[in-house]
Structures are given as structure tokens and as C-alpha cells.
Amino acid sequence: MLIVALAATAMVIQDVLAVFLTQSEARNRAGLAALFDSLMWVAGILTTTVSVTVLQGHSLSEKAVVIAAVTGANALGSFGGVKLGARFIRAEGEAGTPE
């Protein structure tokens, strides 16, 4: 079940970074957006690699568990990313950000 945890963790990270990317772009923070875009790509490749590896081989039950875990992680990452991003991603000059 290590592969399930790896796929789900990578998906949460990918989604949190995707939300941060969107929030950074919306607040005209190009440097942050570029950073999150690059990091998101790495997490996305890891998610895809692990998921495809499981879907190509392994038992049907293990495939179902990975699909369910990644789907749940997708939702968790989106919710978590919005909550964290609302707290930490600010527009330039907005309270709490360096100018």
C-alpha cells in the first residue's frame, strides 16, 4: 500500500500547488506563479508515473484503491490549497507581503 500513499500524497501536493499557481496569477505575482508551476509539474509527473505503473500491472483491487485514493486526494488538495492560499498568497503591497 506504499504506492497508494505515494500516489495520493503526490496528488495532494499537485493540487495545492495548482491552487497556489492560480491564486498567484490572479494576484499578479509572476515569480510565485512560475515557482508553483515548476513545482506542480514535478508533482504531476510523479502522480502520473505512479498511477500509470499501477494501472498497467497489479490486481484489479489495487487499481481501484489507487484510483479512489488519488480521487480523494484530488478533492483534499483543492480544499486545502484554497484554505492555505487564502492565508498566504497575497497581492504585491497587500498587508503581510514584502514589497
- What's the pLDDT at 31? 93
User: What is the average pLDDT across 3-30?
Assistant: 93
Q: Do the Cβ atoms of 27 and 74 come closer than 8 Å? A: no
Higher pLDDT, 47 or 94: 47
> pLDDT tens digit string along 19-68?
999 999 999 999 999 999 999 999 999 999 988 888 887 788 888 998 99
Which pTM was predicted? 0.83
Residue 99: predicted pLDDT: 46
Residue type, 43: A
d(CA 15, CA 20): 9
